[in-house]
Structure 1
């Protein structure tokens, strides 16, 4: 009897996993209730359509960042890649028309590949590489545009973001959902996706198992760039121009969405399916604060606090022997 009693009891209830799943949904529900009470227009059809439109580009950029974070790295240049891709796409619209979307994606892929190659070849931390390239890409886009908006008049291209192929559902939202489904399938149904989680969970072990770490990292950063390039082209279509620094707000918002959803910055934990919940939280938070008239500076304070709180909740401290 003593031996039986001394055996460890199998845990049937994992509170930590349940908490990770429920907290983002709980935060989203609370925000919806609070903003609905504060402003009766929050849950109207027009505002819901605005929410779908607002979340779409952020979702695409956050999907890009999620893949990079899952391997234990980070890309601080996503906003600048959005700006650069959108600027060059806007320049090529007069000759390329709607095909300028692919120009934006190609520019994004090149930018992401540059990040990945510098990161892997020179063994520089991704934080420093992408911090430097954030400035370089932003400077390049400013040089190309001479610091001025590049406007265009192409209704077909504008309809990619401003139109609604399905009544009541913005085209932007369709782009976002398609990207989500594709990235979800890649991350959960392919060997590549499993390798991404393996590298994030333990790079040395992954290398011993035969995974080609450097090649995988370059591919991940390239895919991230493609998504940011698409986001840049769609953003240009939405606002009718390629403008300086138009992608800047998406850096903080995408990181906030990723960590709120439950993907840990330490890598290997989380996933694409969690990011979409974080995107909803950030979009509802931003939209709700705007519609209720909260001062823009206060909004920045709130978002900053949200990011810190989300990182504190999602960080796997068992991976670090020392916090510095």
Structure 2
């Protein structure tokens, strides 16, 4: 009588290979990229591997990180938002104008800044869902309008000088690291992660990005949900404007210029697909840190800001190419 002897596996099972491939092509691949970037910059960039520099990087990416939360939701639905930087600029100017010239208490001006951002996002959402404009066109138009309004409010002049307590929101440290603005960003990420993972509305966003028609036939209010995603992105841009005003102790009509590309880059690098239906908030965190460390490292290496734009552009191209390859393999 012979007995079967189990042979040790000589190679990974197909399931294991698929799991590994999925991990590497998603946020896992970006995590490996972040670790590799961190190691390289630690070796070659002077003063990179210091606590002070890490705190500086986190401070610098806080605004980008808040904007990227809204952009993640938009991109998961299959949309795009080119107006977040301009809405940030408009919100921060509304904050400054109301608190300095309008005589509003600063806390009320802060709420108004968020409300203005949400209103701009509402217009974006209605343009996409009701006017049936492509997201690219709707948000491109809003980018132009919001930037123009930001300049009209004070005739292109910046507003300087906020109360000390407002500046301390980003300056004072708890445990030597956390400022109020950083804590706000962390809480927003935690809430968004929980919403996408555990709430029906969060799962609906993925369904809309996968196929809006199938989502509609499944009973999901596609137009309403999509509109609210853009409203959320606009409101978060308003929050980003408040954080930036606190950091700079001023409101500037040009604030947020160029943030659009960095935000999209962070979300795509984090594993979200520009065709919609996929993306993780944890991946967005990694993408934001990659952008932050990359810019910080290039600055420490003395690389020209103009060359930095080229590098960021190449990073975006590589991230999109990876997304295309992932979808083809799927």
Match of 1:80 among 83, 86, 90: 86
For this pair of structures, how many residues does the alignment match? 312
- Cα 1:91/1:164, change in 2 over 3 Å: farther
Secondary structure of the structure 2 residue equivalent to 1:11: helix
Displacement of 1:279: 0.5
Match of 1:13 among 14, 17, 20: 17
**Contact 1:70–1:269, Cα closer than 8 Å, also in 2:** yes
Secondary structure of the structure 1 residue equivalent to 2:48: coil
Aligned residue for 2:48?
A: 42
1:128 partnered with 2:133: no
Unaligned runs of 5+ in 1: 1-8, 320-324
Aligned residue for 1:161?
A: 170
Aligned residue for 2:300?
A: 291
TM-score (norm 2): 0.90
Q: In 2, Cα distance between the equivalents of 1:12 and 1:299?
A: 38
> Counterparts of 1:1-324 in structure 2 under 5 Å?
11-14=15-18, 15-20=20-25, 21-94=27-100, 95-315=104-324, 317=327
Q: In 2, Cα distance between the equivalents of 1:266 and 1:142?
A: 34
Q: In 1, Cα distance between the equivalents of 2:171 and 2:109?
A: 16
- Cα 1:151/1:19, change in 2 over 3 Å: same
Q: In 1, Cα distance between the equivalents of 2:211 and 2:21?
A: 21
Q: In 2, Cα distance between the equivalents of 1:23 and 1:149?
A: 41
Q: In 1, Cα distance between the equivalents of 2:67 and 2:286?
A: 14
Displacement of 1:10: 6.3
Secondary structure of the structure 2 residue equivalent to 1:51: helix
Q: In 1, Cα distance between the equivalents of 2:75 and 2:321?
A: 16
Secondary structure of the structure 2 residue equivalent to 1:13: helix
Q: In 2, Cα distance between the equivalents of 1:263 and 1:243?
A: 31
**Contact 2:97–2:153, Cα closer than 8 Å, also in 1:** no
Displacement of 1:97: 2.1
Displacement of 1:171: 2.6
Q: In 2, Cα distance between the equivalents of 1:176 and 1:149?
A: 25
**Contact 1:100–1:233, Cα closer than 8 Å, also in 2:** no
Deviations 1:233-286 (A, max 9, x none): 110111111112211132111111000000011001112121001001100001
Q: In 2, Cα distance between the equivalents of 1:121 and 1:240?
A: 39
Q: In 2, Cα distance between the equivalents of 1:243 and 1:295?
A: 24
RMSD (Å) for aligned C-alpha atoms: 1.8
Displacement of 1:203: 0.9
Displacement of 1:115: 0.6
Q: In 1, Cα distance between the equivalents of 2:14 and 2:30?
A: 27
**Contact 1:87–1:236, Cα closer than 8 Å, also in 2:** no
Deviations 1:3-42 (A, max 9, x none): xxxxxx9634314312124321121112112211223411
Q: In 2, Cα distance between the equivalents of 1:247 and 1:159?
A: 21
Deviations 1:150-193 (A, max 9, x none): 11231111112222244322332212101101111111111110
Unaligned runs of 5+ in 2: 1-12
